[in-house]
Structure 1
């Protein structure tokens, strides 16, 4: 396994875990939420501001970076950390999900995927080997296997066929990754919502051997109930002494439910994307700052939040800059949302360590059920 990479489990509460992932670029406290820096930036944020929210690690997108500015160019410019001025850990996804969801005219074979860029129509081939090469050029600390993520709904036969292809690609990814001290490779469990397929996938991944394991193929339209059904058993198929990463999740209540079920890492574009569409996430649920009810409101978005948006500005101001399409509106709301997400993770970590998760979760749901503060 990767030299310079490790995972220490500190405490458990039921299936939930808290611990530390050790990397050569710093420690990652788990459960961890990873803000998404799709194109080598968390949109509307400076890297030191992202760090100030409490983020220990960022996610970069292999698909987007290979198309623009190009992995070879990033390598020539010193690698992704230097390129984007983020010296802490970075995880890169494999590009598989974006190829399936974004590109047109894609052709899937045993070898890999041929597709046309959604930017300029140029033709590209992505294989397990090429995905490993791109992620090496980027220099990310945690590299993801190249896999196929089938869109749901799909028949069980289609899911099984896709999962077995992903397992063959996992072996090829492992072989191509080789020995890279200080860099970790994660395998990705597939199998849709079928328990037997999930178990088969986990057994195959364990036999190959990885530094961490992801639960893939969820949050792709199956709904929260179906996702939680899978998470009730899927993390238990994976090694206890390795990090478990749920890809592409999610809303705050998805995150809390996933942590309750034994997940250690998550990522989602939601907090930053919501920040650009006037949505603020708070302890009392989601707030739409476009609504006229906020225009004369001198109160902060969330009085219990210490982010710059809540500390220094009123709802009335946030409403104004959003309606006026001022860039500071996106900046402040994105900062707030990322801060709220990291606050939530810290709360979860503290609750697990104190063996108090049940009460924390009950309070989380009760607060959200109250809804936003009454208008003035």
Structure 2
């Protein structure tokens, strides 16, 4: 694997780069559609390639471990073979899912985390070593270290103790990663995760610790969990000043179009979020002119295409009135069309950001586009 920075924006920390994996090249900055259970909800694999133009998707260790199970994935030859996606895959370690299980009998201890399945209530245990083994079996190109995602708000003392344990877990992840090998004949990389909640001194300590490990890439976790957006930007800004400049940086679970463009300006290369597909299922459509609640009465007799900018390459035959009809009738085709549109927009947006970085005009473009993209139509 290799990461190369091709261009730096003169007026921000934004960068355009290329991340090479055995399953293909990823042009950064990039948005990664979330395929929690091995599928991006309501989207065919063929649509991810075109018209969406996805270059990498996510899977999730927790969900894939529970269903379909590691025996099925290994028998298939890994997740790529199982779901038919032949480009890069990144797997979240399950740390966020464990965080979200608070209140269901979850128990976090030094050895790992005991938790109950959200499916049937059965008890399971994740350790740093076990999570590395699971991700080896899933076969992701990029594996995430096992961490604790701190809630917001949390006390300084809790955030410090959690961060220290995440660092100890990281050391165990690295040891296990180094003593095991990929199962399917291609390389895998391990990304550590910076934690520390919204406390600047903790974030800096964590970023320095993670940077010292010399990993192929690094992630920033524990943000986009309810904190004010200003705190998210501040933490990302401080962390990217410390993380190695020649390594890819991944801001986990972010976010809105504005969050992503501001994150790019802060030196982030990789993003993921369920927002484009989750919001699509609820009738929110992102367009180049702003966002639409397609359920609203105003679209009932609007027979214009959903976004003229994408009319040629993405279901141009569908109108706002027709999509509204599908969504309100709860026809399966409605969320499918909406999900493809939203992901197409997100991938187009980061692709345009890359072009603007290469042209040296990113900052001015970002400042024009954010109000436009966040405009309620």
TM-score, structure 1 normalization: 0.95
Deviation for aligned residue 1:164:
0.5
Pair 344,152 (structure 1): closer, same or farther in 2 beyond 3 Å? same
Cα-to-partner distance string for 1:233-265 (whole Å, 9 max, x where unaligned): 111110011100000001111101100100000
Report 1:32-43 matches (<5 A): 32-43=30-41
How far apart are the structure 2 equivalents of 1:290 and 1:326? 13
* Distance (Å, rounded) in 1 between the aligned partners of 2:314 and 2:300: 16
**Residue 232 (structure 1) shift:** 2.0
* Equivalent position of 1:84 in the other structure: 83
What is the match of residue 8 of structure 2? 12
8 Å Cα contact 1:26-1:89 kept in structure 2: yes
Supply the distance in 1 between the matched residues of 2:342 and 2:368 (Cα, whole angstroms).
Answer: 19
Q: Aligned pair in 2 of structure 1 residues 358, 207: CA closer, same or farther (>3 Å)?
A: closer
Match of 1:269? 274
Size of the aligned set, in residue pairs, is: 368
**Could you tell me which residue of structure 2 aligns to residue 305 of structure 1?**
310
Q: Is the 8 A contact 2:257 2:373 kept in 1?
A: no
Q: Does 1:190 align with 2:195?
A: yes
Structure 2 distance, partners of 1:15, 1:238, is 13
Query: 1:58: which partner in 2?
Result: 57
| 1:198 Cα offset (Å) | 1.2
User: Match of 2:202, SS?
Assistant: helix
The equivalent of 1:74 in structure 2 is 73
Aligned residue for 2:43, secondary structure, equals: coil
- Determine helix, strand or coil for the equivalent of 2:324: helix
Instruction: For 1:97 and 1:273, locate their aligned partners in 2 and report how far apart those are by CA, in whole Å.
Output: 17
Secondary structure (helix, strand or coil) at the match of 2:316 reads: helix
* Cα offsets for 1:316-346 (capped at 9, x unmatched): 1111111121111111100000000001011
Structure 2 length normalisation: TM-score? Answer: 0.95
SS of residue in 2 equivalent to 1:124: strand
Report 1:140-179 matches (<5 A).
140-178=140-178
Q: CA deviation at 1:34?
A: 0.2
On the 8 A contact 1:215/1:235 being kept in 2, the answer is: no
What is residue 30 of structure 1 aligned with on the other side? 28
Q: Which runs of 5+ in 1 are unaligned?
A: none
Q: 1:294 to 1:202 in 2, by over 3 A?
A: same
Q: Displaced runs of 4+ in structure 1, greater than 3 A?
A: 306-310, 368-371
Q: Distance in 1 between matches of 2:303 and 2:153?
A: 47
Which sits farther off after the overlay, 146-155 or 70-79?
A: 70-79
Q: Which residue of 2 aligns with 1:321?
A: 326
Structure 2, gaps ≥5 residues long: none
Q: What is the rounded CA distance, in whole Å, between the counterparts of 2:367 and 2:242 in structure 1?
A: 27
Give the CA deviation at 1:369.
Answer: 6.1
Q: How do 1:94-109 and structure 2 match up within 5 A?
A: 94-102=93-101, 104-109=104-109
Q: 1:281 aligns with which of 283, 286, 289?
A: 286
